């Protein structure tokens, strides 16, 4: 009687799997996200050679192109000016457009609107346009997106609104952020571990980064429903660093598992959420879910705690050498 029983088990197992697949397809939320990558050509461009920046860029963009994920990269043009490397650094930036992605402005020097005066900051915005505009024109594209460094949008409402009017007058759409797992901090520690050949620490950082990202996504989805009543087309903030170049494929896989489809920034901005009242001001920058919650008088609580050991490692990286 063995064969029929085995057949029954197989059939039964198959129908269980089929039921599970169909029910997960039915309950899988349809989530959408636009990916943005800041601090181009590289977060730590000052300590990287142009050759390393080029390798990192082609690895990062290769994965994004293979995965058919649209991206806007935000540039700090000052990082292009390293003696003897300017051409090669501009070529690394041009690669983003050659691969089919878009570039936006992130100011020339990565200047905080909360630290600088409005006029100095506006000058930094303008100075950050020249090379990017030329590269975009070569591809018949226009410079149309701006991202605030540190997400600092102004310490008072007058400055915030003046800066916004200035950006709109120059033809920009501001790129908000709703998902942010501090990959820049992981990235700094990861690059230091790479330089020292500490592969065990690199692996530990990747595990922690992916796990923390998953927590941030879950929290932000929940907060979205609380603040907006639905999950908007989200906008994820990442940074141009070696961690993303090596592991963005795993992050994309993690997001697909949460039900995300990858859309353009333009598509994301069509969500009505980005037109909601927003009177947020603060010493420190914040994501737009926080902006909306605080505007409604309901400051969010219960955000996942960033791992302290990564903060300690980051401090050690920045400690001046004796």
Q: Residues interacting with Zn ion, by CB under 5 A?
A: 38-39, 149
Rounded CA-CA distance 115/92 in Å is: 30
SS3 262: strand
Q: What is the smallest separation between the CB atom of 113 and Zn ion, expressed in angstroms?
A: 12
Question: How far apart are alpha carbons 190 and 182 in whole angstroms?
Answer: 13
Cβ closer to Zn ion: 32 or 109?
Answer: 109
Which residue lies nearer to Zn ion by CB, 70 or 285? 285
Which residue's beta carbon is nearest to the bound Zn ion?
A: 38
Nearer to Zn ion, 149 or 232 (CB): 149
* Three-state secondary-structure class, residue 25: helix
Structure tokens at 273: 């959420």
If the CB atoms of residues 41 and 149 are measured against Zn ion, the closer one turns out to be: 149
**Distance in Å, CB of 19 to Zn ion, minimum:** 46
- H or E stretch covering 216: helix 199-228
**Spatial CA neighbour of 95 closest among 135, 48, 134:** 135
Task: Considering the complex, state which of residue 128 and residue 149 has its C-beta at the smaller distance from Zn ion.
Answer: 149
Least gap, CB of 110 to Zn ion (angstroms): 6
Reading the block at residue 285, the tokens are 């920058």
Structure tokens given for 41: 């050509």
Q: Distance of CA 178 to CAs 63, 196, 238, Å?
A: 23, 34, 11
Q: How far is the CB of 106 from Zn ion (least distance, A)?
A: 6
CA 95, CA 66: separation in Å to the nearest integer? 15
CB nearer to Zn ion: give 221 or 287: 287
The angle at the Cα of 151, spanning 192 to 73, to the nearest 5 degrees, equals 65
């Amino acid at each position: 009687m063995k064969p029929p029983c085995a057949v029954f088990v197989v059939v039964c197992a198959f129908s269980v799997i089929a039921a599970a697949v169909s029910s997960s397809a039915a309950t899988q939320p349809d989530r959408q996200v636009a990916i943005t990558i800041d601090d181009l050509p590289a977060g730590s461009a000052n300590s990287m050679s142009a050759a390393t920046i080029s390798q990192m860029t082609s690895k990062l963009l290769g994965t994004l192109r293979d995965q058919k994920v649209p991206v806007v990269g935000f540039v700090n043009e000052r990082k292009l000016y390293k003696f003897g490397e300017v051409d090669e650094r501009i070529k690394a930036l041009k690669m983003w457009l050659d691969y089919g992605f878009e570039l936006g402005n992130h100011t020339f020097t990565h200047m905080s609107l909360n630290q600088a005066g409005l006029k100095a900051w506006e000058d930094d915005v303008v100075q950050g346009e020249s090379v990017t505009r030329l590269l975009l024109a070569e591809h018949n594209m226009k410079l149309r997106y701006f991202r605030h460094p540190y997400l600092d949008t102004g310490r008072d409402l007058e400055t915030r609104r003046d800066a916004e009017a200035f950006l709109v007058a120059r033809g920009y759409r501001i790129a908000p952020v709703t998902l942010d797992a501090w990959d820049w901090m992981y990235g700094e520690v990861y690059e230091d571990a790479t330089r020292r050949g500490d592969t065990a620490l690199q692996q530990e950082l990747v595990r922690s980064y992916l796990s923390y990202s998953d927590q941030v996504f879950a929290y932000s989805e929940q907060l979205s429903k609380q603040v907006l009543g639905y999950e908007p087309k989200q906008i994820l903030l990442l940074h141009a660093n070696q961690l993303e170049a090596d592991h963005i494929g795993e992050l994309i896989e993690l997001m697909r598992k949460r039900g995300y489809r990858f859309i353009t920034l333009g598509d994301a901005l069509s969500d009505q959420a980005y037109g909601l009242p927003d009177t947020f001001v603060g010493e420190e920058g914040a994501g737009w879910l926080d902006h909306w919650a605080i505007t409604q008088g309901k400051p969010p609580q219960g955000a996942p705690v960033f791992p302290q050991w990564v903060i300690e490692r980051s401090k050690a990286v920045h400690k001046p050498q004796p």
